[in-house]
Amino acid sequence: MEKTTIKAPAYVCVVGTGNYGGTYSIVKDTKTGDVTPMLTKTVTEINKKNPGTYEVLLDNVLENSWAEFQISGRSFAAKNVTITNATYAGGVAVKPGSVVKDPKTGTVLTEGKDYELVFDKENVNATNTPIEVTVKGIGQYKGSLVNAKTDGKKLTFIIEKKALKDCSVSVDKNLKLTVMNGNVLETKENFTVKDNGDGTATVSVVDGGKNYTGSVNVEIGGRKVGAPMISNVKVVGNKATVILSDDVEGASGYDYVISTDKDCITNKDYVAVNKNQAKTTTAFKYVDKGTYYAYCHAWTRDANGKKVFGEWSNGFQFSVTATTPDAPVITDVKVSGSTIKVTYRPAANATGYDVVLGTSSKKDNGELRPYNYGAHKKLNLKEGTVTATFKKVPKGTWTVGMHAFNRTSIDNKKVFSPWSNLETAKVK
C-alpha cells in the first residue's frame, strides 16, 4: 500500500489465504505510519500486549471484499501549541518562541520543516501590544492551522525590552559607550554613563528606554586593556575579514583567532591565528567551507616587554560557502637559455592555476610567497595542465611560485589556494 502523509481516499481488497480467512481490520502502525490490512484477532492481541501499537482505521472487513476508507494526514491543534514572548534584538525582525508537539507521540516538531509562524508584518521594536501569530502546518502536517488558544482567544505574543545586562557593554576612558545587542551595534537608543570614581561606570537606560531596560556596571577602559567588539566579518570567497567596531583604549596591538568551535577560547582550539596586528581589522585567507566563530583580544606590553591581554571580544559567527583548493606542488624547474619551464603536480579541488616569476620572496602573515613578478606570470592555466613555460626571461635570479584556484558559484570570482613551495631559477 502506498504511503501518504496527507488526507486521501484509499481502497483495499482483503483476500484471505491458507488458514487466514476471517475478518480484518485496516490499521496504521503508530510508529511508522504504514497502513495495512491485518486479522482483527491479531490486532486485538497485539494492542492488549502493547497498547497503541496499531490505530484501527476500519474494522470488520470480510475476506475477498473491497473496503473504502480515508487516510487522514498528521495534524496538531491549539492544545499542542505553546507561544512565548520575543525579545528586542537591536532592530532585527524577531519571532516568538514556539513549541509544537505531535498530539499522538508528543514529539516536538521542527519549525521550518513541520510548521511555520505567519505574521501580517515584520516585528522589530519592543511593544506590549499583542501581535497576532498563526501556526501553519507544512510537510506532513500540511492542513493544520492554529491562530487561537484553547480558550478561543487569539494566539499572540509581545516583544519584551532587552535587559542591558544581557548585552555586551563597554566604556572607554573618555566615557564613550559601546553597546552590542548580539551582533548588532546599538546606535539609536539613549543611555547615560556615570563615572563611579572607582574605575567603573554605571550605564543606564534613559527615561525607561524604548527597547532596553535596566542598568549595568562596567570597568572603564584605558586603566587596563579593554575588550574589543567585533562588529562584522566580511566574507569574500575564502577570505574572511574581521572588523572591530573601534580602537580599544590602552591597546598596543590585537590578536585575532577563528575556529569551528564556539568554545575555542576555553578549549584553545583554533583554525587560524593572526597575531600582533596593529589595526582593528585583519584578513584570514584560505578559509575552507564551513561555519566559524571569530574572536579578538587586545594587548599592551608591561615594563618587561611582556604582553598583557585584555578580555576576549564577543564571538562573531560567520559562514564560508567557497571550497579552498589544495596548494599545488612544484616538482621541477628547468632553465634553457632564456626559457624557464615549470612542472607541477595538480591540486585537489582546483579548476585552474596561476604561475609567477618573482624577483624576491617575502612572508605575508606567516606565508612565504613571491614578490615583484610584474608581467612574468602565466594565468588561468586550465585544469589538467601540469607545465608552464616562460620565454625571453631577462637575466637574473627568479623566485618561482604558484597557486591553484577554483571559482565561486555566486559571482565566478577566483578562490585561491595557499602558495606552493617556492623554487629558484637562474637565467644567465
The reported pLDDT for the residue numbered 17 is 41
Residue 242's region, left for phi above 0, alpha for psi from -120 to 50, else beta, is: beta
| Position 420 pLDDT exceeds 50 | yes
Q: Which domains does the chain have, with CATH numbers?
A: 8-71 (no CATH), 78-160 (no CATH), 168-219 (no CATH), 230-320 (2.60.40.10), 329-427 (2.60.40.10)
| Cell numbers describing residue 204 | 543606564
| β-bridge partners, 7 | none
Read off the C-alpha cell for 86.
Answer: 520575543
Residue 185: is its pLDDT beyond 50? Answer: yes
- Reported as a pLDDT band with limits 50, 70 and 90, residue 16 is very low
306-361 tens-digit pLDDT: 787 889 999 999 999 999 999 999 999 999 999 999 999 999 999 999 999 999 99
What is the pLDDT at residue 402?
96
pLDDT digits (tens, 9 = 90+) for 266-318: 999 999 999 999 999 999 999 999 999 999 999 987 656 778 788 999 999 99
User: What pLDDT is attached to residue 10?
Assistant: 53
Confirm if 117 and 81 have CB atoms less than 8 A apart: no
Average pLDDT over residues 190-217: 87
Q: Is 297 exposed, middle or buried (0-12, 13-18, 19+ CB in 10 A)?
A: buried
Write the pLDDT tens digit of every residue in 91-124: 899 999 999 999 988 999 999 999 999 998 889 9
- What is the Cα–Cα distance from 203 to 193, expressed in whole angstroms? 5
pLDDT of 30-80, one tens digit each?
888 788 888 888 999 998 988 888 988 888 777 666 666 555 568 899 999
What pLDDT is stored for residue 22 in this prediction? Answer: 62
The pLDDT tens digits of the residues spanning 396-415 come to 999 999 999 999 877 888 99
Cell digits of residue 320? 564560508
Neighbours of 329 (CB within 10 A): 12
**Coil, helix or strand for 120?**
coil
Q: How far is CA 41 from the centre of its chain?
A: 53
**Percentage, residues of the chain above pLDDT 90:** 64
Q: Three-state DSSP class for 183?
A: coil
Taking residue 333's Cβ as centre, other Cβ atoms within 10 Å add up to 17
Grid cell for residue 115: 510548521
User: pLDDT tens digit string along 214-231?
Assistant: 999 998 765 578 899 999
The span from the CA of 85 to the CA of 159, in Å, is 6
